Structure 1
Amino acid sequence: MLTAGDNGPVESQVDARTRELARIVWDHLVLSEPLSKADLILALGSHDTRVAVHAARLWHEGWAPLVVVSGGRGKVTSDWELTEARVFGRVAREHGVPERALLLEETAANTGENITASRRLLEERGVAVGRGILVAKPYMTRRALATARRQWAGVSWAASAPELGFEAFAEDERQFIELMVGDLQRMVVYAERGFQVPMPVPAAVWAAYEELARLGYDRHVIR
């Protein structure tokens, strides 16, 4: 596979076996559920602004009256000039979400804080939430749900993501795989620590994670 670099096309360093393993992890992590009308759309900040575009689309479709974008700076966005929330907010406004329907949470540095900080913000503003829609990158949906169902258990949550396939993340394929490997490990470790509800990982998926980690895709693995 060829990807565009500063000096023209360069050959990807991800081989066929690595991509096969990554697809196994992807297939487990991606979890989309039917949506119901909700009180808010909570867009989880990241480096991928397509999440904000999708949140705006859901707002236009009438799934919820309020869009909350949450994110300070995380492991991939630590060098951004603006917070993830400000960037996502700008994108949401560019896609037609008005200020009255948009709320920014600018402190969260991880998924758990996306939930807990947004919860505090809405409680401070007296906004009651009984049902919510989490919007995240496709491979973050399962862990986002597991986290929200623990950290904001009184809300009925569903997850939604931009309609992107595995190939849509080929521009920086190594980083994409490293992030998925870290997220899958957290599905197990964070459940054990009580940070999110348990969601069992099939043996074949865990074996793919272990092989990817051995191959060096362990940048975001908890040591």
Structure 2
Amino acid sequence: MLSTTLPEDLRSDVEILWDYNQMHQDIRPVDVGIGLGSHDLGVATYTADLYRQRMFPLIVFTGANAPTTIERFPRGEAVHYREHALELGVPASSILIEPKATNTGDNIDFTRALLSEQGLLESITSVMLISRPYQQRRSYAICRKRWPEVDVICASLPLPLDDYIASIGDVDRVINMLVGDTQRIWVYPAKGWAVDLDVPDVVHRAYARLVDAGFTSRLLAE
């Protein structure tokens, strides 16, 4: 049985990465909300919540499948996100789907292409990326690199760490994802995929300790 309890000897380091990977930006109205596909249906839930709060008039759900989502979302992440948002009362006319992206760079590039096809791109000056909590900083850095013309802010379903782990149902999976996303903050700029962002020493140290503890399944070769 998978554990949903965060071990106390890991808590401090996990909390450091959890806090760092969120941008803590003020939520404000933008031209379009972009729900980034993943295994986490909370992304679609919060996107629908923000739509009802009139934070944006249009939603783009973007995502095909990854190995971690094919069983949960067999018709594709964006398709399932759309269906969930419709169940929550978002009108179909306010949702576009981009069903081919398999990574965050694709999410951004393919969303831009979709908006261009719809004749909307030139009117978009601001976007909100709605993602898993620990995906915010990486998504922000990628968007600033690949779509520098827009003002971008990031948002996630506002859950405390322990509640988020419980919602996912697997503490090891959450820690591995946190460690992997943190590493991508410096790996992606080196590959030309994202802008450089500051990584404080305290974050590097927490990351290194969690790697030493064996949370390496999401690491990239550097």
Do Structure 1 and Structure 2 share a fold, with TM-score over 0.5?
Answer: yes
2:45 pairs with 1:53: yes
Identity %: 32
Change (3 A) 1:11 1:37: closer
Distance in 1, matches of 2:87 and 2:127, equals 23
* Structure 2 residue identity aligned to 1:53: T
1:137 matched residue in structure 2:
132
Structure 2 residues not aligned, in runs of 5+: none
Distance in 1, matches of 2:13 and 2:183, equals 15
2:24 pairs with 1:26: no
Q: Are 1:32 and 1:161, in contact at CA under 8 Å, matched by a contact in 2? A: no
Distance in 2, matches of 1:146 and 1:138, equals 14
- Equivalent position SS for 1:182: helix
Q: State the superposition RMSD in angstroms.
A: 1.6
In the TM superposition, 1:68-217 aligns within 5 A as 68-79=60-71, 80-128=73-121, 129-168=124-163, 169-170=165-166, 171-217=169-215
- Equivalent position SS for 1:143: helix
- Equivalent position SS for 2:102: coil
Change (3 A) 1:125 1:11: closer
Q: Are 2:3 and 2:171, in contact at CA under 8 Å, matched by a contact in 1? A: no
Q: Are 1:44 and 1:114, in contact at CA under 8 Å, matched by a contact in 2? A: yes
* Structure 2 residue identity aligned to 1:146: A
Change (3 A) 1:75 1:208: farther
* Structure 2 residue identity aligned to 1:217: F
* Structure 2 residue identity aligned to 1:104: I
Distance in 2, matches of 1:78 and 1:40, equals 27
In the TM superposition, 1:59-70 aligns within 5 A as 59-70=51-62
Q: Are 2:5 and 2:162, in contact at CA under 8 Å, matched by a contact in 1? A: no
Distance in 2, matches of 1:196 and 1:165, equals 27
Comparing 160-169 and 70-79, the one that deviates more: 70-79
Comparing 82-91 and 18-27, the one that deviates more: 18-27
* Structure 2 residue identity aligned to 1:163: P
Higher RCO (CA < 8 A, seq sep 6+): 2
Structure 1 residues not aligned, in runs of 5+: none
The alpha carbon displacement at 1:32 in A equals: 2.5
1:35-89 deviation line (CA, Å, top 9, x unaligned) = 3321100011111111101101111111111010011012421444120001111
* Structure 2 residue identity aligned to 1:41: G
Q: Are 1:32 and 1:141, in contact at CA under 8 Å, matched by a contact in 2? A: no
Distance in 2, matches of 1:35 and 1:75, equals 32
Change (3 A) 1:12 1:159: closer
If the length of structure 2 is used for normalisation, what is the TM-score?
0.92
* Structure 2 residue identity aligned to 1:50: G
1:116-140 deviation line (CA, Å, top 9, x unaligned) = 1111111111113111111111111
